[in-house]
Amino acid sequence: MKKTSTSVLPAGGALGDEPLLAVDDLHVEFVTRQGVVKAVNGVSYSLNPGETLAVLGESGSGKSVTAQAIMGILDMPPARIPRGEVRFRGTDLLRLPEEARSQVRGQRVAMIFQDALSALNPVFTVGSQIGEMFRVHRGASRRDAEKKAVELMDRVRIPGARQRVHDYPHQFSGGMRQRIMIAMSIALDPEVLIADEPTTALDVTVQAQIMELLAELQRESNMGLILITHDLGVVADVADKIAVMYGGRIVENALVHDIYRAPAHPYTKGLLDSIPRVDQKGQELYAIKGMPPNLLAMPSGCAFHPRCPYRQDNCVTEAPPLYEIGPTRSSACHYWREVLDGSHG
C-alpha cells in the first residue's frame, strides 16, 4: 500500500490518479463491557471533485461511524481504528497529528449532522454560531464574522437573514435549522461535504428543497458530496454512485442508474422494493423481513443470510467477498447473478 507524507497537506488539484477522498479497508471497533463491537468492517470507497456518493443502509449499518472516522470526531476510547486509511488528496488523515487534522476538519472536509436541533447550541444565536467558523479559523472580528453569517444565511435562502441573524435555534422551523447547519458546514468552502441524514424528520416538500440546495451549492464550488441516508428515494436524482452498507461492510457498489435498473445484492433489492410506488396504490408495502444483525454476535457466513430470500447452504458458512461484476460495480453476494435476473437460484 502506498505511503504518503503527512507533514504537508497538498492544496489545489487532485494528485495524479488519486481521488479527492479515498477510504481504504477502514475498520472501526468499540470496546464495551459486553465485548468488541465491529461497527465498520473493511469499508472502502472513493470520491472525486463534483461527485455525489450516496451511502445507504439501515440504522446500525456503519454509515455514520465511517463518516465520523473520516472527520476524526470519534471518541477514542471506546472507539479504535485497528487498520485502514482515509486519504484526502493523497494524505492519510488517520496518521496526521491532531493539530494538522484540526486544520482539515471544517475547513476542507466538513459535515452536516442529522439532528440540527441537537447539533446547534440553544443558548447562542445562529449568527454567532455560523460566525464562529470565521473567528476561529480565519481570525475575523465579531463584526466581520456577523457580516459573513448574514451572507451565508442569504446563500442558503433563509428569508430576512439580516433581521434573523440574532435569533436562536428554537425560533426556526426544522427546515430552516437544517439550512443553518448547511450554512455552518459550507462557511469555509470545504472540498468535501458529508451530509448525514440531512432530510430526517422533514416533510417531503422540505426534503426536496434541502436536496436541491445541496446540489446547487455543489455545482457552485465543485465540492465532493457524501450523502448518508437510509432512503433510496431521496438520492435517485442527486447521486452519481451508491455504496450500500449492511452489518458494517459495503455489500454493493454501483453507479446510481445501475442500482435502480437492476440491484445485484438481495439487501439492495429489498431496499428498492420498500419504496412506495404510485402504481401500487392500495397494496401492502413491502418490508425486509427480520432485524438488522447484532454487531456483538454477527451471523456466520453472510451477515444478511437470516433475512435473505436467495439464501443457500454456503451463505450460512462462507462470507462472500465483494465480487467485481463490472468496471464500476461490485456485490458481496454469492448469487449476484440470480439477484440481477430476478430468479431465486
Ranges of each domain in the chain: 49-68+97-108+193-341, 115-187
**345 pLDDT above the threshold of 80:** no
Residue-wise pLDDT for 253-303, tens only, equals 999 999 999 999 999 999 888 876 666 666 677 788 888 898 888 899 999
* Cα–Cα dist 44/84, whole Å: 9
pLDDT recorded at residue 342? 75
Residue with the bigger pLDDT between 11 and 151: it is 151
- What 8-state DSSP symbol labels residue 3? -
Q: What is the pLDDT of residue 278?
A: 61
User: How many CA atoms, within 13 angstroms, populate the side-chain half-sphere of residue 20?
Assistant: 20
Backbone angles phi, psi at 82, to 5 degrees: -70, -30
> How is domain 49-68+97-108+193-341 classified at the architecture level of CATH?
3-Layer(aba) Sandwich (3.40)
pLDDT at position 232 over 80: no
The Cα 29–Cα 228 span in angstroms is: 20
First to last CA, the chain: 38
Mean pLDDT calculated for residue range 35-50? 92
Task: Write down the pLDDT at residue 27.
Answer: 96
pLDDT digits (tens, 9 = 90+) for 119-169: 788 999 999 999 988 888 888 888 898 899 998 898 888 888 899 999 999
Provide the pLDDT for residue 14.
Answer: 44
> What pLDDT does residue 275 have?
76
Residues 192, 108 contacting (CB under 8 angstroms): yes
pLDDT at residue number 7: 39
What is the C-alpha to C-alpha distance for residues 300 and 322, in angstroms, rounded to an integer?
Answer: 16
- Cα dist from 13 to 90, 188, 189, whole Å: 11, 17, 15
Other C-beta atoms closer than 10 Å to the C-beta of 9 total: 17
Element (H, E) at 260: helix 256-261
pLDDT at 9 over 60: no
* Weakest-pLDDT range from 37-41, 115-119, 140-144, 301-305: 115-119
Strands 192-196, 224-229: pairing kind: parallel
* Region of residue 188 (phi > 0: left; psi between -120 and 50: alpha; otherwise: beta): alpha
Helix runs in 72-198, H state only: 98-104, 116-119, 126-138, 142-155, 161-164, 174-186
Q: How confident is the model at residue 116 (pLDDT cuts 50, 70, 90)?
A: low
Cis upstream peptide for 78 (omega within 30°): yes
Which tens digits make up the pLDDT trace of 187-220? 888 899 998 887 766 667 777 777 888 888 888 8
d(CA 179, CA 184) in angstroms, rounded, equals 9
State the chain's mean pLDDT as an integer: 85
Does residue 118 sit in helix, strand or coil? helix
Whether the pLDDT of residue 179 is over 80: the answer is yes
In this structure, the strands spanning 52-56 and 241-246 are: parallel
* Top-confidence residue, 280 or 114: 114
Q: How far apart are CA 167 and CA 28, in angstroms?
A: 39
Q: How confident is the model at residue 332 (pLDDT cuts 50, 70, 90)?
A: very high
Give the pLDDT of residue 251: 95
**Residue 76 in 3-state DSSP?**
coil
